[in-house]
Structure formats: C-alpha cells, structure tokens
Structure 1
Amino acid sequence: MSYNLVTEPWIPVSGDQGQTPELSLTQALLEAHDVPSLALPAPTMLPALLRQVLLPVVLHALGAPRTFEDWQRRFEQGRFTKDERELLADYLRRHQHRFDLLSATDRPFAQVANLRAASGETKSATLLLPSVASGNNVPLFSAFTEADVVELTPPQAALWLLHAHCWDTAAIKTGAVGDPKVKAGKTTGNPTGPLGQLGVIVPVGRTLYETIMLNSPVLFDGLEPDDRPQWAAATEDYPTTPGEADPGTAVWSERSARGVLDQLTWQSRRIRLVATETPQGPRVTRVVVAAGDRLRLTPDLEPHTAWTHNPKPKPGQPALRPRRHRSGRSAWHGLDTLLALSLPTDGEGPYTSRLLRQVGELDAEGFLAPAYPLRVETYGLEYGNQSAVVENAIVDTLPMPVAALAAEDSDVRLAVLEAVGQADRVGRALDRLLMDLRRAAGGEPLPRDKGSRPSELLLYALDAAVRQLLSQLRHAGGDFDRLEGELADWEEILWSQASLIASQLLAAAPPTAFGGRETKEGTFRSAMAERGFRNVLYATLPRAADARTSQAATKEPAV
C-alpha cells in the first residue's frame, strides 16, 4: 500500500460552490493563491497542518524572508512566481519518498516504520481522535468508544496524524520495542503535544498564500545552518547529533529545537498507522502511539504564542513563558494580550506573539496596508486529570485592525484597548450591583468561584458589537472624527446592554431590598446599589453620558 501526500489528494479546501475538494500537497501550494481557506474536519487541525507541512515546506524550499522588503515583495505578488513554483515542485520531488503515508518498507511520513508496542498490541484509530472516547479520554458526548471500529481514509489519517503530533494528551504512553527508556511496557511523564502547551495565535489572510506569508517570520540572518524539518532529519545534509534521536526510530530524546523548522515540525510522538486494504481502498483502523521527543522549553523563536514576561525569573527559569488561552472567554476579552507590543518592566505581564509584532512592524514601516483585512485565529485545548484527557477546545476568530499593532501610541490601538477596558469595568459594576442587591435583601455575596455573574451575560451580549467595532476600526486610520464616532456608537451599545441587564437584576430583587439593611460593611439598599451602578456608567462611558446630558438639556420643561 502507498499513499504519497505530495501527489495524492488529502488537503480539503473551500470551493466556489460550497464543496470541499481535496488537493495534494503540490496542488495546495502551487494553487495557494486560488484557495480562500482550508475546510478541515476539526478547527485545531489548521495550525497543525500549517506548522507541520505547509509553512516548513515553503520556508525550507524558498528560504525565509530576510528583510521587510523581501517579505513585502513576496506578499504583494499574491502568488508564487514561476521560479518559486519550480523550486517548490523540485523540492517536493526530491523529498517525495519521505511523504508516503502508508509506506511499510521506507520511512512513512511522520511515523516510524514497523513500530511495535512492547505488548505486541495495537489500538483503535480512535486514539488519534480526541473527541472520541478512548482509554482515560471519555468526552461527555461521544457516539463511539475505542471498541468501535473506525476506518480512516488516508486523507483523514494524515490530518489526524499531524493533529496528534501537535495536540496529543500527556501522561502514560505505550512502550515501544527498541526504546531503552520503556519500563513495564510503558513510558511515563510524557508532556502534551507542543501546541497543547500554548495559546496558539495564527494570523490569517484572504487566501492560503497570504496566510502562509503572514505566518512566515522575517529572519534577518536566515535559517540556522543545521535547521531542518522532520522529513529531512537523519540525512546526509542534516545528520543527527549526539544526544539527538532520529525521529524515524523508536528512540526519543529530550532536547532543544535546532531552529524554526525543527520547532514547527516537532515529533512529539512515535506513531505508526496500521492500514488494511478494503474494497474501497486502504483504510487505517489501528495505530501505535508511543513516546516522542520532548522539548526542553518553548524557545522564544516560537512564532504562534503570546508570552508572560517575568523580568526577574527564578534561577533556571526563562523570562518568557508561553501564555495559554482561558476557557470560556472570547478572544476579544484578551485583546490587551494580543496588543501587548513591548516587554513589561515591572512585574509579570503579557507580550504578544512574534508574528503579530511583525505585522505591526510591517505596517509601521509602510510594508503592509493599514486597512488590510487581517484576521487573528486563536486555538487551544483544555486538558484535565493530569492532562491525560481533553475537556474542551478553544477556538475563535477576530478581525484585527493592522494599525492597532503598529505602535504603543497608535490611535486605533488605544481605541481598541479603551473599548475593551470599558466593557470590563461596566461588567464589574454589574457584578457589584448584584452583590449589593443580595446584601440589601439580607443575603450574602456569591463566592468568587460559585454561581454565574451578570458580567458574563454582558460580555456575551457585546460579542457581535465588539467584532463590528474591530472591523470598522480597520478603516479609521488616523481619522480622529471617525474614531470618536465609532467609539460613541460602541458606548451607546454598551450602555443599552448594561442598563437592560441592570433593570432585570433590579426587577428580580425582593421588596426587602428596597428598605435595605445595615451591615459591618455599611448600609445597602436597592436605590443606593442602582445609583452606584449609574455613577459607573457615567464615569466609564463619557461619550454616551454627554449624549444623554445633551438630550436632557434640550427637553422642554413640562407645563
């Protein structure tokens, strides 16, 4: 059996008529300018496919951009040139033997040929699918268990293979024959896949080509001489070094990444797909998933994560640590992190991703249009029980004004941060209103980790408005009047939504809240609680407050 990813179709893309045709790797790259987006079975596959295959092929074949001018030239041409297409096609032909998914005699793609478990057993292919019950991983809603026979087509198996290398759960893994670190038929202490340790941030463009370019870091010194993707490992040009394991064997090592290509194609597991021939063609029904390479620490060359910076780290700890997304929060709740353009100097603080900083630098230098319709997609998995199970997927998309990334004092950036800060302060005022009403009625405030908060309702109600504001700010540029107009409209929406929720809280308060009560903290009455909330609205939303003051002043006095 054979299924070569260079020539066989396996990458699903969105078509003109709503269909999802599959392209080979060669087609996907050479026709990237005609591909509006990928149509993958699971959202978290996008960063896996981008990092493990598409981006490293382009960077290794053509080299990374070495100047902003070089990046701009490539981006503005909108497609690979004739010479670049020839280089890509030649590169894929030369490495084609390393892209055979089902090869049993050579090195199958991203796998170990003849990998065997110490127990001699194989497991159901459901092990690759985090949404299917398998072992300790038992999702709440799953129509399948690991006892069911799941037949993956080669395209499906290829995508889930890449996904496992990036997102696999942690803890105990099958011990492989030939791995000297196996004990009692297993290996322990395995971390999650590398993306599972990050809050993944991916800039996305209008076409697959633009997305590849937006994710291509400008490397002024070029790629490291010994850097290579996994399919070029253990070759004459890129031999393994002492202490480094060949990813085509059952042996694994703990080490640092050689460079960007090594980081992107990190082989966090040793895997073998077990395929059988069926009347419909080859199908993957069984797998072996064993321990793979362990990354000593996430290097600051990692392009797809924001960071927490500690100016005074403990001995042996890095100053920068990857920052993960919080479950249950939309991406715009963390815009202060996405727009954190400089390293904090006092205490711990956020620092945005390398690629978003690069977008801002390109805009500031005039190499990317401020009105470019950039999207930022965020991905993460929430693990539970020692990271051995998947509990939730975190996926979101935001329209991002490029000008907001250009400089700390950018008017657009300040407007975005002002809007998000206003939503946060008004949300906290609603929470305080609820607590004061509970006290006024004779109750106690909700514990911090119990119950729902009205701020959550507010943030949910504002979701569409925030995304609309971000889209509009793309075109505001340095137009102060337009910026003020957009913020005035935003404040009106925020005021209305917050007032509606506050009215519902006041209407639900019992009659005893009107009379109130005295406590050690002070006097609490519903009227006082409402007045406090209204004061916050007037102080936080000055444009909306001015509009209401003007309206009140122009009203004719009652006769």
Structure 2
Amino acid sequence: MTSTSGPAFPLTTAGWIPVVDRAAGRVREVGLLEALTRAHELQLAVQPGQETAVLLRWLVTVYDAAAGPDDTNAWDQAWRADDLDPHGRVADYLRRWEHRFDLYHPDAPFAQCGHLNQFPRPPAVLDPAYLAGAGAALFHPALRDPAGPPLPPAEATRNLLILLGYDVAGIKGAPGGGKTYGAQLGPLATSTRLHVLGRTLAETVLLNLPPQPRAEGDTPVWERDCPDPAVQIRRPAGRLDYWTWPARRIRLHPDAHSRVQALAWHDGDRVADGLYATAELDTLAVWRRTARGTLTPAQPLDDWTEHPLPWTLTRPLRPDTTWTHGALTHTLHAAQRGTLPPDYPLRVEVSQTLTGPHGSTIQGIIGGTVDLGPAHLHTTHTTARALAYCDQKATSLLGYTRAKIKTMPFGGDQGNPAEKRVALEPHAADRAWARLLAELAELADPTDLDQLTAALAPFAEQLAELIEGSLDALPWASAHWTRRLDLDTRVWVNNVINNIPTTLGPPTSPTETKPVMGPEGRRRGRDACAGRGLRSSP
C-alpha cells in the first residue's frame, strides 16, 4: 500500500488528550492548545502507567519548548500565575509550529518519518497490548483479527506515542525489506518512572519541570528536519531532544475518514552509550547512584507484591541517600523556598516496566500512587529525619527476614523462593504509612521526642505484625522456625522504639548526657512492646 498524503488531524486543536474539565464537569478530549492554556482548570483523565507517563512527558516538553522557565525565579513566577500562559507564549508557539503538529502532514507528520511510503503493518499493531508478544491475543480479542478495524485518530495518536516510548527491543523490519538487529528498548521502558502529581494539570506540569535554560542545539523533534528512514546512533543534544526521542521510524496511513488503516514501523534513533548517557537528562525517572558513581534505575517496588514500598520514595528528598529524581528534588526546593505552601500535599505516581528476555516483550506495567504527606514533613529537619529512620528500619526488617528465610531448611522452589513471599500486604502497609504521615503532620512540637515516639511506635508495631502475618502464610515453614523469626521481629520493634532518642535527638558529645524519653514517650513505648509480650528497656 502506498501513499504520500492524507487528511489533516491537527493535534494543537483537535481533541485527543483525555482530561477532567472542572468547568464543564465532565471528561473531554482536548488538543494541546486547550490542554496547556486551560491547564489550571483541567486534570489528566487516563489510567496510571503508560498513558500517564507518555502524555505528561509530551505536555511537559511542549510547555518547556514554548515557555519553560530557565531559572528558579522564572519558575516561581510561573507557579504564582493564574495559568500556564499569562503572556500568550504557548499559544504563539503552537501557532508557529502548527504544521508540525499535524498527525497526517504529507511531508513531516507529527513524531513520524515522512519519507516512508510503504505501509505493511495493520492498525492492530498500534494496540499497546501488542508489545506483550504472541500470547497477547489470548487476552485481547482485538489482536486476533490480522487486519483489525481502522483506528480513530485520537486513539492512534496516543498509541503512537506509547509505541515510541515503550516499543520492545530486538529485530525490526527494515524500510524497503530485510531486517535490522539490536533495536533498543523504548526510552520509557528502561527506567522506573515517577511523576509528581499536582492538584491541577498546570501544577503537575510545573512540578515535573525543573527550571533550566535550553541547551545549545537542543530542540524537540517537531523543530528538527524530518528524520531519514535509516537508523542513527547519536547522543541527545539536551532534554527536549531526549524527551521527544524518535526511537522508531513510524508513519500512519489514514483512510478517507482520518482513521489509521495501516502503518510503517521500523527501528529509529539509538542512544549512543545507552541508558547511562541519558540519566542526567531524564528527570522523570528514579535513579540510584552506584558505588562507581554511575546512575542505574532505582527499584521502589516490591518484587513479590509489585506494589510501591511508600517509604522508599522519600529517598530522593534526602541528600544523604544514593537515590535521585530531578522533578521530586526540584519540588522539595520549591517548598524550601516557600513557593509551595507548607501544607502542600506531595503525591507521586510510580510505574515500572517488566520485560521478557532481552527486552523482547513487555510483560506488564506495575506501580501505583503514593502519598508523601504535606511538604513541611520534608522541609522540617526532625520529621524528615523521622521518615528517614522509618525507611531505614522498614527496609532492614524486610531484608533481614528474607535473608533469614533464605538460610532455613525450607525454600520453596527455584522459581518461587520462600524469601520472596515474605512481603508486606500492600493495602495494610499503605494504611500504616498514611497513619504515620498523619500523626507526624499533626505534631504540636516536631522536636519533642515523646511526640515522635508516640507517632513512630505504632508504625513499627504494624510493620512487625504484617511481617508475622506473611510468615504465617508460608505453607512450608515449620513451627520452630516461624517462632524463632517471630521472636526476632519482636526484638526489632523494641529496638526501634528505644533507639528513637539517640537517633532522632540532638547530637551529643561524649561529655553530654544523652537525650532520654519523657514519661509519655516511655509509656507509648511500653504500650507498644506490651502488646507484643515484650519488656521495654528500663
């Protein structure tokens, strides 16, 4: 099938971005212009995971290219403005580049390769489920039809951007015939994604956009010449280039009703030096710095439950950890400057892509939404240290228990080791975390050790109970070993409570008296321990 032209579908004004319109009181699809100029009245209305990661990435990029703040002063002014486009820069920019935002432009279609004119693939391959491999058709009837019905342009646009961000690695068909080998995994599938959630779309865009000037030569894909069909290996010129990276050469072929009836799909640009060359540019991914100083994707999701461990996501907010996330750190700095109010609710959405061998299939997108409490918990020294203490202790308890299980005379099987099944029930862990945040947020005096103990002791107690419940559920665990582990867990609770003064109290010199808990702190500690059959330290 050959074509060189097609109907127009202008992404600037045609509806394709699902939003909750507070003014209209309903869910609508809007174009880029309305999404950004009315972002203070809108919120994205898509499922967490792929669609959120993709749409937010492109919205942030368009705003950054048009009117992105280049320093903190400009960002603070943008935050305090009534909307994202108080001076009309976004509208002017989209009018200037409107021709490059046409999904079916005859020469330079949006985010595609206009040089392709053979369309051998059916529209069904645009379905994100197609990336799961041959077995996906068992669960997605739409994939069973080799051709499939034509796709409406709005759905095709969203699926196109998902394909550019998440396409699998491996062998791809070459333009004109033949094959190419070694295609890289899509840029959004290579790392753990994390987005800071604002109260409106405008706030979400700004919170996920650390201010910086545009780097020399850095342009988004629509400001560049339409790429050649051949594979290119290069380094990104900057974050605008990388955030709109043309990882594949795709071209959609519409029918007379603007529906996609076929497409071309080939390998595209590859990042020289791979993942490590992009870590500094990708401020919407969670990274962990290794002992060698390189950045690698962080893992805030539990292996067994595939659910976020909420306390781990406070790590990018602390300078003493190896975890980093550009947008979350930028949000913390805005709170420290006073631009964000102390009670501003910090919420994040995290997602991680599970891939098959060699990245050849996508087996799932896991994640969830995590509350991190009001901003002042992370800007106040004592409560920030308390959250760090909880993260440290919760991580050590889970790791210690799993390590113990691994050495014991039962272990499940190779594909399902027992230590992995020692996990925290996700909803109960979330409730314990929410209670901790609420109690810390309501402290009359965050420096008072009695009040800190009263807030932290129930959290330790609840985590220990969850670990014990997980141990009880192991079908192959003997009563002797589970009793032994239960005793260790109870000792852990006692140690957490009694170490609060030395860990969270003011620093002491060898000649000073160490801080001690007052009567209320000791009473709460004794109550927590008594519930577990323990004696607290005298």
Task: Give the TM-score taking structure 1 as reference length.
Answer: 0.78
1:404 CA displacement: 5.4
**RMSD, matched Cα:** 3.4
User: Does the C-alpha gap of structure 1 residues 167 and 338 become closer, same or farther in structure 2, counting only changes over 3 Å?
Assistant: farther
Q: Which residue of 2 aligns with 1:180?
A: none
What is the CA deviation profile of residues 135-194 of structure 1, one whole-angstrom value per residue up to 9, with x for unaligned ones?
6563763223251514321110111111111111111112114xxxxxx61111110111
**C-alpha distance in 1, partners of 2:477/2:319?**
46
**C-alpha distance in 2, partners of 1:137/1:193?**
20
User: Does the C-alpha gap of structure 1 residues 224 and 427 become closer, same or farther in structure 2, counting only changes over 3 Å?
Assistant: closer
Instruction: Tell me whether 1:231 sits opposite 2:222 in the alignment.
Output: yes
| Equivalent residue in structure 2 for 1:493, among 445, 459, 462 | 462
Counterpart of 2:487, as a letter, is R
C-alpha contact (below 8 Å) 1:134/1:145 kept by paired residues: no
1:271 CA displacement: 0.6
**C-alpha distance in 2, partners of 1:472/1:252?**
55
**C-alpha distance in 2, partners of 1:259/1:363?**
27
**C-alpha distance in 2, partners of 1:552/1:137?**
49
Q: Which residue of 2 aligns with 1:3?
A: 9
1:469 CA displacement: 3.1
Instruction: Tell me whether 1:455 sits opposite 2:456 in the alignment.
Output: no
User: Does the C-alpha gap of structure 1 residues 193 and 476 become closer, same or farther in structure 2, counting only changes over 3 Å?
Assistant: farther
Give matches, 1:112-151, under 5 Å. 112-117=113-118, 122-132=120-130, 136=134, 138=136, 141-145=139-143, 147-151=146-150
Q: Which residue of 1 aligns with 2:81?
A: 77
**C-alpha distance in 2, partners of 1:396/1:207?**
19
C-alpha contact (below 8 Å) 2:233/2:269 kept by paired residues: yes
Aligned residue for 1:212, secondary structure, equals helix
User: Does the C-alpha gap of structure 1 residues 261 and 432 become closer, same or farther in structure 2, counting only changes over 3 Å?
Assistant: closer
What is the CA deviation profile of residues 194-238 of structure 1, one whole-angstrom value per residue up to 9, with x for unaligned ones?
11111111111000000111112222xx2123221111113xxxx
Instruction: Tell me whether 1:309 sits opposite 2:284 in the alignment.
Output: no
Counterpart of 2:316, as a letter, is L
Q: Which residue of 2 aligns with 1:250?
A: 229
**C-alpha distance in 1, partners of 2:51/2:313?**
26
**C-alpha distance in 2, partners of 1:503/1:384?**
32
1:360 CA displacement: 2.0
Q: Which residue of 1 aligns with 2:514?
A: none
User: Does the C-alpha gap of structure 1 residues 226 and 477 become closer, same or farther in structure 2, counting only changes over 3 Å?
Assistant: farther
| Equivalent residue in structure 1 for 2:487, among 528, 531, 538 | 531
Give matches, 1:307-346, under 5 Å. 307-310=287-290, 312=292, 319-323=294-298, 326=301, 328-332=305-309, 335=312, 338-339=315-316, 341-342=318-319
User: Does the C-alpha gap of structure 1 residues 537 and 343 become closer, same or farther in structure 2, counting only changes over 3 Å?
Assistant: closer
**C-alpha distance in 2, partners of 1:503/1:548?**
21
Give matches, 1:227-306, under 5 Å. 227-234=218-225, 246-247=226-227, 249-277=228-256, 281-296=257-272, 297-306=277-286
User: Does the C-alpha gap of structure 1 residues 203 and 474 become closer, same or farther in structure 2, counting only changes over 3 Å?
Assistant: farther
What is the CA deviation profile of residues 228-270 of structure 1, one whole-angstrom value per residue up to 9, with x for unaligned ones?
1111113xxxxxxxxxxx42x3134211111121121111111
**C-alpha distance in 2, partners of 1:174/1:382?**
24
**C-alpha distance in 1, partners of 2:300/2:19?**
27
Task: Give the TM-score taking structure 2 as reference length.
Answer: 0.81
1:465 CA displacement: 2.3
Counterpart of 2:222, as a letter, is W
Give percent identity, aligned residues only.
Answer: 26
1:310 CA displacement: 3.5
| Equivalent residue in structure 2 for 1:50, among 24, 44, 56 | 56
Aligned residue for 2:44, secondary structure, equals coil
Give matches, 1:327-366, under 5 Å. 328-332=305-309, 335=312, 338-339=315-316, 341-342=318-319, 350-366=322-338
User: Does the C-alpha gap of structure 1 residues 269 and 39 become closer, same or farther in structure 2, counting only changes over 3 Å?
Assistant: same
1:448 CA displacement: 7.5
Q: Which residue of 2 aligns with 1:546?
A: 526
What is the CA deviation profile of residues 61-98 of structure 1, one whole-angstrom value per residue up to 9, with x for unaligned ones?
224231x2321221122413532xx2211111111111
Give matches, 1:390-409, under 5 Å. 390-401=362-373, 402-403=375-376, 405-406=378-379
Aligned residue for 2:56, secondary structure, equals helix
User: Does the C-alpha gap of structure 1 residues 545 and 497 become closer, same or farther in structure 2, counting only changes over 3 Å?
Assistant: farther
Q: Which residue of 2 aligns with 1:384?
A: 356
Unaligned runs of 5+ in 1: 178-183, 235-245, 314-318, 345-349, 514-523, 554-559
Q: Which residue of 2 aligns with 1:200?
A: 193
Counterpart of 2:264, as a letter, is V
Q: Which residue of 2 aligns with 1:211?
A: 204
Counterpart of 1:165, as a letter, is L
